[in-house]
Amino acid sequence: MRNPVPACLPALLLGFAQLAAQGLEFVSPEFAEVAGQDARVETIAAGLQFTEGPVWIDSAAGKPGYLLFSDIPADIIYRFRPGDTLSVWRSPSGNSNGLVLDASGRLVSCEHGNRRVGVSSGPGPAATLCDSYRGLPLNSPNDAAVGADSGIWFTDPPYGIKAGEQRQPANFVFYLPPGQKEPRAMVDDFDRPNGIVFSPDKKVLYVADSGRPHQIRRFRVEGDSLSETGVFAVISPGGPDGMCVDSSGRLYTSAGDGVQVFSPDGKLLGKVLTPEVPTNCCFGGDGMRTLFITARPNVYQVRLKVRGLR
């Protein structure tokens, strides 16, 4: 005799179907701490070219906060302010990719076209933080993170240059100490280092490899030195790109099916599904509880239960 079907099962299946329609996939019950039943993925920008590098700018002088993000081939940094229309914030942008705020609140931009890491205090042209290593031009800085000492850590794959233009002997993960112009090469064995983000206490550095391994590696940070602690996660489908963390240390990474959410010990908890393959993500909005997702021509948002970090 077969076991009778629990009376609650149809309701549970309907609930999961509804959550999938809202753009959520629960892999573990712990994902309920991240996303509520009312969470829904919404489009906030569409019809662009290739969006990347989202970063939230807090409100100032009575004005509401806003999101900045790059459109790499369009050579534009856009501004999205909730309740307002999308506007151009900087053009040209040096074909900027990753964006992050430094310890002083200035915008740090990884610029493919200029093959540099730039810095600015507003929408005007950026100044150069660094553009070479050992006398040779950088590849095409991709993404950046700010360490506990305010130094800039960034990845330098060749995605933004043509074949034959690479002058660096490897695709490095770099560290730029505060006040210096010459970065230090910290890791040289990545295929395509891409997204980079710190844990909340700044003691752990996560670096995505969007090349052949499709994995996220984890490093212990001790001052200005790194010691690798192993592979944090292998991403499938697709591979990892941009990443962010929440205040509890969960890691959010772009993947082939959306943004995948991992516990601090590398357990997959759930997914925020997107129609296109996402490129990056960040937290912002009221209480830093909105997850913004850049996904090729479109940008999405979803309100979560957790508080995110930059």
pLDDT digits (tens, 9 = 90+) for 273-295: 999 999 999 999 999 999 999 99
pLDDT of residue 21: 56
pLDDT digits (tens, 9 = 90+) for 75-106: 999 999 998 889 999 999 999 999 999 999 99
The full set of domains in the chain, from first to last, is: 23-309 (2.120.10.30)
Q: What share of the chain is helix, strand, coil (3-state, %, to 5)?
A: 5, 45, 50
Specify the pTM.
0.93
Residues contacting 218, CB < 8 A, separation 6+: 204, 205, 206, 228, 229, 230, 231, 232
In terms of DSSP bridges, do strands 96-101 and 87-90 run parallel, antiparallel, or are they unpaired? unpaired
Residues in the chain: 310
Q: Are 242 and 294 in contact (CB under 8 A)?
A: yes
pLDDT of residue 182: 97
Torsion 143-73-134-192 (CA) sign: positive
Q: Is the pLDDT of residue 175 over 90?
A: yes
Report the amino acid identity of residue 94: G
